[in-house]
Structures are given as structure tokens and as C-alpha cells.
Chains A and B, each alone.
Chain A
Amino acid sequence: EIVLTQSPGTLSLSPGERATLSCRASQSVSYSSLAWYQQRPGQAPRLLIYGSSSRATGIPDRFSGSGSGTDFTLTINRLEPEDFAVYYCQQYGSSLGTFGQGTKVEIK
């Protein structure tokens, strides 16, 4: 089973700043198998990025994903108030998926 480790655990930033979130896999994963989700308090997760860098429908272009192999990054440019939430990376392969433990982006 592939283990995903996200860092940092918590990111304290101000609106307008850039957030850089990391997701490291215990073994190499296909670029196509890595996704990112946002979860706001009391809400279901929302798909942001699939295939490491493709934005899901309706996702603003301030969200971008990159990476390959074992290291992947979610970047949020110019943080908006609604972006303060928890973010999860997730991989899917061989009919099995795993999530990272999440990174909380909080207001500084």
C-alpha cells in the first residue's frame, strides 16, 4: 500500500499570500493517479486537481498542481478567505486508493 505524507501539517498564512503544500509518496506513483481535494469545515471534500495538474471543473486558476514520481505539490496563489481549509492528496492505483493525512491552511 502506498503511503502519502503531507507537509506541513498546518500552514499559517494571510489572505493574498501563496500557499505551497507538499505530498510525498512512499514509492513512485503515476502522474495520472494523484489528486488533491479541499475540505471546508462541515462540508464534504471537493475535487480540486486530478492527474497531478489538471484542474477539476469550476476550480479557479489560482489553484495549480505539479510533481512526478514521489513528490507532488499543490500551490494556491493569492489566498482568498474561502481557501482556508484542509487539503488532502490522494493516489489511486491497482483499484486501491490512499489519502495523505491532510494539511490545514489557517489564517495567520
Chain B
Amino acid sequence: EVQLVQSGAEVKKPGESLKISCKDSGDSFSTYWIAWVRQMPGKGLEWMGIIYPGDSDTRYSPSFQGQVTISADKSISTAYLQWGSLKASDTALYYCARLRSWYLVYSYSYAMDVWGQGTTVTVSS
């Protein structure tokens, strides 16, 4: 059974850097896209971007392009989300999720079927 295990909660100051992780316990890490999703306090889900660990192909939502960096190390089945300089507005719960595909009639369907437990990031002076 695939599980995505995320790193623990972080408390940081504005301007600090941070890298959080998402480890896949299964054996097919390189064959699925991994997505990162933000949930600000009391708010909905926001798509940040995806990475294909097999070749590190990365796609960002326009809202997050240039604000974060998504990466992966397939040798240890781990994806990462990092910030170079945190802001208070980065305070949120961050989820990683596996983007799986199913072949339906004449097309592929993609959806996130396995989720990590979430990593809370708090940025405060």
C-alpha cells in the first residue's frame, strides 16, 4: 500500500529558508506525478504544482511560479517543497499527493488518490 509521509511541523521567521519533504513508502515513486497543495488557515485547497520524479519534470501553477521550488530525489523516493525566503503569508498546511491516471473511454483521467498527512508551516516574527 502506497503511503506518503511528510516531514514535521515547522516554525520559522520571515526571511528564513525552508525545505519540507514527502516520502513515498511504495516502490513506484518514479512512475507517478507528485502534486503539492496549499491550504491556508480556514481556507480551501490550492494547487501549487507537480513533479514527475522519474525525470524531475516540474510544472507550476502561475500563482506559485517563482515563489517556491519543487524537487525530487528518486533514489530515496522523496519529493520536496522549498522556499528561499519565507513570508508570513506562507503560513499554511501543505499536502503532497500522488497524481494517478486512469484510462477511461478515449482519454486519461488524473486525480490525487493518495495524500500525505500534511505539514504545517508557521511563519511569524
Chain A residues within CB distance 8 Å of chain B: 1, 30, 32-33, 35, 37, 39, 44-47, 50-51, 54, 56-57, 86, 88, 90, 92, 95-102
Known: A45-B97, A50-B110, A99-B44. 16 other contacts (CB 8 A): A32-B104, A32-B108, A33-B109, A35-B109, A35-B112, A50-B102, A56-B111, A57-B113, A86-B44, A88-B44, A95-B59, A96-B61, A97-B50, A97-B61, A98-B61, A101-B44
Pairs across A and B, CB under 8 Å, 16 listed:
A33-B110, A35-B109, A45-B45, A45-B112, A47-B112, A51-B111, A54-B104, A56-B111, A86-B44, A88-B44, A90-B111, A96-B59, A98-B47, A99-B44, A100-B44, A102-B44
Q: Do most interface residues of chain B lie in helix, strand or loop, or is the interface mixed?
A: strand
B111 interface neighbour in A39, A50, A98, Cβ under 8 Å: A50
Given the known interface contacts A1-B62, A95-B59, A97-B35, the answer about A54 and B112 at a Cβ–Cβ threshold of 8 Å is: no
Given the known interface contacts A1-B62, A44-B118, A54-B102, the answer about A99 and B46 at a Cβ–Cβ threshold of 8 Å is: yes
A51 touches B109 (CB 8 A): yes
A44 interface neighbour in B44, B62, B95, B110, Cβ under 8 Å: B95
A102 touches B109 (CB 8 A): no
Question: Which residues of chain B from 83 to 125 have a CB within 8 Å of any chain A CB?
Answer: 95, 97, 99, 102, 104, 107-113, 115-118
A44–B37 Cα distance when bound, in Å, is: 11
